[in-house]
Amino acid sequence: MSTPAVPEERASRRVAAIDCGTNTIKLLIASVTADGLEDLVREARMVRLGQGVDATGELRPDALERTFEAIDEYAALIREHRATPDEGGRIRFVATSATRDASNAQVFVDGVRERLGVEPEVVPGTEEAALAFDGCVRNLRARPVQPVIVVDIGGGSTELIEGASLESGPDAAYSMQIGSVRLHERHLRSDPPTAEEVAACVRDIDAALDACPVDPSIARTVVGIAGTVTQLAAGILDLEAYDRAATDQLQVPVEQLEELVQRLVAMSVAERRSLRWMHPGRADVIAAGGLILSRVLRRTGVAHLIVSESDILDGIAWSTTD
């Protein structure tokens, strides 16, 4: 997607945030204004960097190639919008679960440095959670009933983040090694998945939740962020195409969400891909991601899930303005 050039007079104080996860690499370029951050560019590429990491412990050459191609595109956009350090801008590249787990992570680090001139930060789960909470809570239009739990489902891990306000930050956070790509590869190998595979996946999710020190049952408000959640929100609305404005701040009835997840789990990948609202790159892993969200929500007792389109990417961008 091409992005229009930015007027000369607004070329100061630019920041570029990159979030590189297990499934998706995302870019936000923003202008720092007196009122906060003004989005200039938002891009996402499904590169599946973490493909096979759960089984092999290594980043695959083809996954690295896909990721580096996306980073080359992002580097061009960052230069075009004058967000590079030599133009007075600031770039922060945060890498999450896949590169924490890979034995050949240095290949990835060297490739990022060569293309962007910055060192990628492989952040621990606690910082990942804090960034996600910051980006999400700043975006909420109404003050939520406390306690709030933010659910961030990624490809390799899922974070539960408990907090009361942006000012105080997260009160507790925990990163579980369950994610849409990881659990799809580990359990849901048939197409469509068998009942036994689904049961094994659910047991894995429940075991992780049992061990999680952040208890979902305390939540009065649950906010969901990242691709699994926004994709399911698009399904609830039966959108013809992705529409960030339509899904952001959407309040989804948990019962309706559960019904959608069960339908998706029973479908083949081809059937999911034929849904007009389904991104083809997410069709295979959406069942595992949906099961994670469903099992979390069952423990909360809330009637609705709030969908936020702002997430860790926005938190990364805000962190560069300090």
Query: CATH code at 154?
Result: 3.30.420.150
Return per-residue pLDDT of the chain as tens, 322 residues. Answer: 444 444 444 445 899 999 998 889 999 999 998 888 999 999 999 998 988 887 888 999 999 999 999 999 999 999 999 999 988 899 999 997 667 668 898 999 999 999 999 989 988 777 888 898 899 988 888 888 889 999 999 888 899 999 876 566 788 999 899 999 999 999 999 999 999 999 999 999 999 999 999 999 999 999 999 999 999 999 999 999 889 999 999 999 999 999 999 999 999 999 999 999 999 999 999 999 999 999 999 999 999 999 999 999 999 999 998 7
In a domain, 197, yes or no: yes
The pTM of this model reads 0.86
In 146-294, DSSP assigns E strands to 148-153, 158-165, 169-176, 221-225, 251-253
List Cα–Cα distances, 134 to 107, 228, 251, 315, in angstroms: 30, 19, 20, 5
Find tokens 């991104």 and name the residue: 279
Do 190 and 219 belong together in one domain?
yes
What is the rounded CA–CA span in Å between residue 72 and residue 111? 10
CATH code of the domain in which 19 resides: 3.30.420.40
User: What pLDDT digit, counting tens, does each position of 86-120 carry?
Assistant: 888 999 999 976 676 688 989 999 999 999 999 89
Number of domains forming the structure of the chain: 2
Whether residues 108 and 141 share a domain: the answer is no
Clarify whether residues 112 and 138 are in a common domain.
no
Phi, then psi, of 71 in degrees rounded to 5? -65, -35
Q: Are 69 and 113 in a shared domain? A: yes
